[in-house]
Amino acid sequence: MSQQVSETHRHYIAGGFDDGDGDETFDSRNPATGESIATFRRGTESDIDRAVAAAEDSFEEWRALSHIQRAEYLWDIYHELRERTDELAEAVTKECGKEISEGRADVIEAYHMVEWAAGDARHPKGDVVPSEIPAKDAYMRRKPRGVVGCISPWNFPVAIPFWHMAVALVEGNTVVWKPAEQTPMCGQIIAEMFEDAGIPEGVFNMVQGFGDAGARIVDHEDVNGVLFTGSAEVGHEVAEKVAQQPGKLAACEMGGKNGIVVTEEADLDVAVHSAVMSSFKTTGQRCVSSERLIVHEDVYDEFKERYVEIAKEVSVGDPLDEGTFMGPAIEPEHVEKIQKYNDLAREEATEVLVDRTELDDSEIPDGHEDGNWVGPFVYEIEYDDEGEQRSIREEVFGPHVALMKYSGDIERAVDIHNDTPYGLAGAVISENYRQINYYRDHAEVGLAYGNLPCIGAEVQLPFGGVKKSGNGYPSAREVIEAVTERTAWTLNNSKDIEMAQGLSADI
Ligand code: UN1
């Protein structure tokens, strides 16, 4: 199905906007209205091949620049992101349905990442390492990997691409980026920024498209590293495929079934506030959103009453309206998935406490009848450690929350908290430092919070998970490990050859 495509909604390959080789197009849709926002070219495998070839061709010249010279381009992008924040935030909100202050935060997080990466260009690189031999100088030096493929999700359509690309570019790699198919307009605007910054031809390439284009990036023999953030299902496939290609590296970050522990010594204002933010912001569609609240029996009833009252009233509506707390789900298929999990939870729950699966007509703003609406769903469940309750172990990626009562000590709470295959984020709410420290040291997560929501990470901290949530850190400062190869460089300053470990140098 081919349509008339606007001149601007194309790929960006080898230094210019590009029509692509295929004639298929796709639409970006506003999840709050169901309306089409714009039409885009759908990238093919051969578009990816051309993008990779352009990235490969430009690599030697790009790596020959200094870190500081490469960072100059990123500073231009930083200024563009700041100047175009409102425009980009509106695009985020229109394409992914996040309420507008979240759209803005997405752009702010992106320029924080660019600021970090460009600033880091002036920091020391590598290490000077001692040697056993006085005349030997030893170093750990970093080299760019080459062409890095970036596959980013729709829920942070500006911040996460920059998590992937900012450090990769400053370190001397060239990139081929596939934005999520749900958020191509954000991809378009970011490509315009690279164009305006005058990034050298081929250093940055962007191909709009679906899973087939992403799979080509992963399989391509000239792509030396893959940064993936998205679902566990796709992430594990990416990791497996890359594991079969020696020399290539994948860093993936995938999903969570994040828990918050509220102990008997919690400040309940902090507990309720943190839980509401963690479970309902972005309609629960963050990898760090919390779908499990593990609450001590002594404070359970009060916590439940207060949390449930807010869950019943929290506003779901037009995300462009500053007063809205949560917007729609991303796609009709995603609403169906959330509904299915709500059905499953109805079977596993002891009681359903809030059921706004179907919103009341009066809650849906005029002109938004075709949006992908779904409200909070909260249920009480008696935790059982047999591992059979799927609703408390599988990620829903929606405003679907299990309330679980525990008795006993923090050790028991953390056991329940850790009983999921995932390990991305979590929080403990307590005024007792021993409980807090126990949680910090034993929670099986990459991002652990005390007396805070488990959303809202900052880019200067590592962002990644353990267990099924990740096999690397395709984000923030940790990207440096994924996009560089390490060389152990050792230099002899003497005419004699002297060996370490007492190894004889006699011939
Ligand atoms: C995600 O959860 O998909 O920590 C990314 C946060 C954001 C990033 C979330 N800075 O909430």
Query: Per residue in 443-482, pLDDT tens?
Result: 999 999 999 999 999 999 999 999 999 888 888 778 999 9
Instruction: Give kind and range of the element (H or E) at residue 233.
Output: helix 232-243
State pLDDT tens for residues 391-450: 999 999 999 999 999 999 999 999 999 999 999 999 999 999 999 999 999 999 999 999
Q: Is 191 in the pocket of ligand 1 (CB under 6 A)?
A: no
Q: Please, is 365 exposed, middle or buried when counting C-beta atoms within 10 Å of its C-beta (0-12, 13-18, 19+)?
A: middle
Give the model's pLDDT for residue 470. Answer: 86
Q: 392 CA to middle of ligand 1, Å?
A: 21
Stretches where the chain sits below pLDDT 70 are 1-8
Q: Is 162 in the pocket of ligand 1 (CB under 6 A)?
A: no
Give the model's pLDDT for residue 471. Answer: 85
Give the model's pLDDT for residue 333. Answer: 97
* 485 has catalytic annotation: no
Give the model's pLDDT for residue 472. Answer: 87
Q: 314 CA to middle of ligand 1, Å?
A: 21
Per the residue annotation, which of 109, 287, 291, 454 is the catalytic one? 287
Give the residue, out of 156, 281, 289, 461, with the most ligand 1 atoms within 8 A of its beta carbon, to mutate for a pocket test.
156
Give the model's pLDDT for residue 5. Answer: 46
Q: Is 455 in the pocket of ligand 1 (CB under 6 A)?
A: yes
Q: 155 CA to middle of ligand 1, Å?
A: 9
Take residue 405 and report the two structure tokens written for it: 């009562």
Closest CA to ligand 1's atom 6: 456
Q: What is the pTM of this model?
A: 0.96
CA pair distance 402, 380, nearest whole angstrom? 6
Q: At what angle do helices 184-196 and 67-83 cross, to 10 degrees?
A: 120
Asked whether the ipTM of the predicted complex exceeds the cut of 0.95, the reply is yes
Give the chain's mean pLDDT. Answer: 96
Q: Is 158 in the pocket of ligand 1 (CB under 6 A)?
A: no
Residue 408 gets which letter from DSSP?
A: S
Q: Please provide the size of the chain in residues.
A: 507
Q: Is 427 in the pocket of ligand 1 (CB under 6 A)?
A: no
Contact 469, 255 (CB under 8 A): yes
Give the model's pLDDT for residue 8. Answer: 52
Q: Is 475 in the pocket of ligand 1 (CB under 6 A)?
A: no
Give the residue, out of 163, 288, 397, with the most ligand 1 atoms within 8 A of its beta carbon, to mutate for a pocket test.
288
Q: Which atom of ligand 1 is nearest to the CA of 229?
A: 3
* 411 has catalytic annotation: no
The amino acid that residue 460 corresponds to is Q
Give the phi and the psi of residue 178 in degrees, each rounded to 5.
Answer: -115, 110
Q: Is 288 in the pocket of ligand 1 (CB under 6 A)?
A: yes
